[in-house]
């Protein structure tokens, strides 16, 4: 990715919180609910956009898209208020939500999805398994899916290897008990060769996780399913070179936005890492390949805010940044979100993980 590619007039927040902030307070209590629902851990370094990604999950259910229809219901008052605050910040105030700095009890939401009008989920399963050997879970389309998402919103600073205030053993143990990891990879941080946050964050935690799970490794690898999401695909410094190198295409259907196809997603991630070898980011790629089972890792190009759509509902590549200047509640002009959000690949990684987890459980049919 060429450093000369121009970015938008405003950028995402880029300064991580200081180590030892309230986000890393001791006295941390982590636990997964005692139920059969998939346990998915949201994981990302400081300012990878995790809080914004969560807000986009709630907004995606209301946006026309080629991924079915959805209803997301909070399971308690605190989850309901958390959802309301995030969507209000993104949709009404058009501002990025403040990064989470508090550690509290887990929250949960129930997801109800109808995929019957999509091409998604067709016979999920290994393509190289002969048809005669495929079980029912591969031979039928997935049309309806329901699951509960349990979430403890840990701030990115919790995973900072320099943060001595965090009870890291407890965080690692909690992560070890998860079924899957939704990992957010910020390529805009990679572009800063003086910023080693991503590599340090990723390797330190993975080394701890491997040690914690050393007696339960599968042929020397972790059991987790992983969705590796390259975030901020809406940024010109990401989508423009992706289009130029043909990792992304412009969709033929409205709103004619750039997208990375499923077939290109792994190659796109590899290409992203290749652009920033000097920052050591290719070590993240090798860690995903060496420490997890290859068939359990999938890749996505995501955007929480999506592209700006003109009045006619079409994305104009010459003017499609959804970042701009907005007026806050005090009347001051601040960096924010230019128009309505059109999240890209925020529900898909989560649903893919749920399906894979359920398929892997003996006697459990997907979805």
Q: At what angle do helices 50-60 and 77-87 cross, to 10 degrees?
A: 90
Burial class, 363, CB count within 10 angstroms (exposed 0-12 / middle 13-18 / buried 19+)? exposed
pTM, entire model: 0.82
Structure tokens given for 235? 């940024």
Reduced to 3 DSSP states, what percent helix, strand and coil does the chain have, rounded to the nearest 5? 35, 15, 50
Nearest to 65 by CA among 348, 355, 350: 348
Tokens of 352: 């893919």
**Alpha carbon distances (Å) from 319 to 105, 185, 214, 314, 325:** 42, 25, 50, 11, 15
∠ at Cα 233 (192, 144), nearest 5°? 140
Q: Tens digit of pLDDT for each residue in 269-296? A: 999 888 876 656 777 888 899 999 999 9
CB 96 within 8 A of CB 10: no
**Three-state secondary structure call for residue 149:** strand
The secondary structure element, H or E, covering residue 101 is none
Give 16's DSSP letter: P
Listed in order, strand segments (DSSP E) in the chain are: 40-43, 69-74, 107-114, 144-151, 180-185, 225-230, 249-250, 258-259, 297-301, 323-327, 333-337
> Cβ distance 296 to 224 under 8 Å?
yes
Per-residue pLDDT of the chain (367 residues; tens, 9 = 90+): 333 222 222 333 433 333 333 333 445 567 788 888 888 988 877 777 888 998 999 999 887 666 888 999 999 898 999 899 999 999 888 888 876 555 556 788 999 998 877 665 444 444 444 454 444 444 456 778 899 988 766 665 666 656 665 567 788 888 888 999 999 988 877 666 555 556 677 777 888 899 988 999 999 999 999 999 999 999 998 999 999 999 999 988 888 999 998 889 999 999 988 887 665 677 788 889 999 999 999 999 999 999 999 878 899 999 999 988 877 777 778 788 998 899 999 999 999 999 899 888 765 554 5
Six-digit token pair at 205?
């935690």
Residue 208 to residue 206: CA distance in whole angstroms:
5
pLDDT, one tens digit per residue, over 87-126 is: 999 988 888 887 655 555 678 899 999 887 766 544 444 4
CB 300 within 8 A of CB 265: yes
Distances (CA, A) of 153 to 73, 178, 201: 17, 14, 17
Ordered domains of the chain (ranges, CATH): 34-360 (3.40.50.300)
């Amino acid at each position: 990715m060429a450093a000369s590619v121009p970015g938008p007039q405003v950028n995402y927040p880029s300064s991580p919180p200081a180590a030892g902030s309230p986000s890393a307070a001791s006295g941390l209590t982590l636990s997964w609910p005692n139920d059969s629902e998939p346990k998915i851990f949201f994981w990302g370094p400081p300012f990878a956009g995790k809080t914004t990604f969560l807000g986009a999950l709630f907004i995606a259910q209301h946006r026309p898209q080629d991924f079915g229809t959805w209803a997301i219901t909070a399971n308690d008052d605190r989850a309901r208020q958390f959802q309301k605050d995030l969507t209000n910040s993104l949709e009404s105030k058009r501002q990025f939500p403040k990064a989470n700095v508090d550690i509290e009890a887990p929250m949960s939401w129930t997801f109800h999805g109808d995929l019957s009008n999509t091409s998604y989920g067709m016979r999920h399963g290994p393509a190289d398994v002969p048809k005669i050997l495929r079980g029912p879970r591969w031979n039928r389309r997935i049309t309806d899916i329901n699951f509960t998402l349990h979430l403890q919103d840990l701030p990115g600073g919790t995973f900072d290897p320099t943060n001595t205030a965090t009870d890291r053993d407890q965080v690692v143990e909690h992560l070890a008990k998860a079924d899957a990891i939704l990992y957010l990879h910020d390529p805009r941080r990679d572009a800063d060769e003086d910023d080693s946050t991503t590599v340090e964050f990723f390797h330190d935690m993975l080394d701890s996780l491997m040690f914690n799970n050393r007696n339960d490794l599968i042929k020397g690898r972790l059991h987790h399913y992983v969705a590796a999401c390259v975030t901020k695909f809406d940024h010109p410094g990401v989508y423009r070179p992706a289009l130029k190198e043909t990792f992304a295409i412009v969709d033929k259907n409205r709103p004619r936005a750039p997208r990375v196809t499923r077939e290109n997603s792994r190659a796109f991630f590899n290409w992203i890492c290749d652009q920033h070898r000097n920052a050591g980011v290719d070590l993240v790629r090798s860690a995903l390949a060496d420490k997890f089972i290859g068939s359990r890792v999938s890749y996505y190009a995501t955007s929480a805010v999506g592209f700006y759509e003109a009045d006619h509902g079409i994305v104009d590549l010459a003017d499609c940044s959804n970042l701009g200047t907005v007026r806050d509640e005090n009347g001051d002009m601040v960096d924010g979100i230019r128009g309505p959000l059109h999240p890209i690949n925020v529900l898909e990684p989560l649903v893919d993980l749920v399906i894979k987890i359920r398929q892997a459980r003996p006697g459990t049919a997907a979805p």
